[in-house]
Amino acid sequence: MNKELFESNWKQIRSQTTAWWSLMADHDLLKVDKAEVKMDKYVTMLRVKYGYTNDQAKKEIGKRMAALEAGEKHVG
């Protein structure tokens, strides 16, 4: 997962986040908005909320980014 790609697609990722991860709330996303490196903060949020490892979180983000690029909205 590429940080630059994540940053450039942040608005699209942000709009889908609560559909992808029900435990991620708007106040969590506001913290990511303010972060210097959004992907790092997002990964940290997934680790805290879902108990993912760093690699698991990045893999999950990668799956959802691929689905976004393919035009899909929900990924299981």
Q: Where are the domains of the chain?
A: 3-69
pLDDT digits (tens, 9 = 90+) for 13-54: 999 999 999 999 999 999 999 999 999 999 999 999 999 999
- pLDDT band for 70, please (50, 70, 90 cuts): confident
Q: Taking a C-beta distance cutoff of 8 angstroms, is the pair 7, 39 a contact?
A: yes
Tokens of 8: 């450039």
Tokens of 6: 């994540």
- pLDDT band for 68, please (50, 70, 90 cuts): confident
- pLDDT band for 74, please (50, 70, 90 cuts): low
Q: How many CB atoms lie within 10 A of CB 30?
A: 11
Tell the CATH topology of 3-69: Protein Yjbj; Chain: A; (1.10.1470)
d(CA 4, CA 25): 23
